[in-house]
Amino acid sequence: MRRLATVVLAFTCLLPEVALAADQPISGASLQLRSTPSGKQKVVFKSKDPAFLFPTAGGSDDPLTAGAVLELLSPAASTASMTAPASGVLPGWSTRSALFKFKRGKGSATITALKAVVLRQGRKITVTADMTGLAMTAPLGRVGVRLVTGTLRNCAVFADAAVLQDVPGKFIGKDAPSPSDCSYPTLTGLSPTCGDGEVDQSSELCDGNDLGECPPLAECRLPGVAGECQCCSNGGAFATSVGCCNPSSILIPAPNFGLCFATGCPGPYQCDEGAQCQAGGSCCAVEGGEACALGPPFSRDLVPCCPGLVCSHPVINGALQGFTCCAPGPECCAAAGESCTLDHQCCSQHCQVDGTCSP
């Protein structure tokens, strides 16, 4: 019932526009990925392509404030992502004319797998890490590399003749030509699908962390459920316009705002806090937990109470009034013959026309 503490009133809010990413395909000088049976791993990526996008010092893409992310993509293994954070790692990021450097000390090995990043404008990119993040028990086929700094995304792909060695535990690439673009299908050679992490199909509004056309604060509905890769909300701003993420939810709308109450738990979505998933995939509200009904101005049933409980305990917050589940008794609900105005005030769950609770 904590969501009822937020008064649902019409409001207008001004939110910043989401900056679009700038992609730059580049050639790759070399790529080494190693994983030994003892658990030691290694990544070394180098590019000498002068066309790579170099961040502006002090700008929104400056890694000293935006950090950097290395992504490795392969059709035979899950995508890996490693971050060189803007802070929290010593010695971390430093800069001077036409140069950005990141270095991770031994004490920060648990924070990031990236050991070093060097960006020298117009000359080179060098990235080293002590973890591949990829399953290397079989050949990888090809490996795409993306280095993201803020909204700038440089990418290369080592495939075909650029692959010198590709065996379990070891991938060596050299002299890779620049790809046509930085998309997931181009770097992996796989067809675009919902769940590949990129908006690359006409049916997609978003995909994973790529929120594409979604409004601020919205999320992306997960693959494998109704409305996959569409913008959605878990309640709040824009919930009315994009709908609830859990496809089984009831949406209580107001202008530019909404409350979402999950009535089902289709994997991977679950019931809301204060409710539990039952056999058959429906949610039931526990005692004092999820709202089971709302009174005026919405007046509708929401999540049924779990067995042995009734939907009667009143809760009033701001402009909303609602009910939670409780065990029948004097402190929970009105007994037969006692006065009432709404069904949910009665232990019998029925308020008669004479204003008293039925037996």
Summarised one tens digit per residue, pLDDT across range 19-68 is 456 899 999 999 999 999 988 999 999 999 999 999 999 999 999 999 99
Q: Count CA atoms closer than 13 A to 205's CA, side-chain side.
A: 14
From 187, 229, 183, 180, select the one nearest 208 (Cα to Cα).
229
Q: Six-digit token pair at 199? A: 């908006």
Query: Which strands form 22-25's sheet, in the order they lie side by side?
Result: 22-25, 152-158, 143-149, 68-74, 77-84
Q: CA dist 316 to 100, 261, 343, Å?
A: 55, 17, 16
- Give the confidence band of 79 by pLDDT, cuts at 50, 70, 90: confident
The separation between the first and the last C-alpha atoms of the chain, rounded to the nearest angstrom, is 28
Average pLDDT over residues 211-217: 89
- pLDDT higher than 50, residue 189: yes
- Give the confidence band of 309 by pLDDT, cuts at 50, 70, 90: very high
Q: CA dist 313 to 69, 135, 325, 358, Å?
A: 50, 52, 6, 17
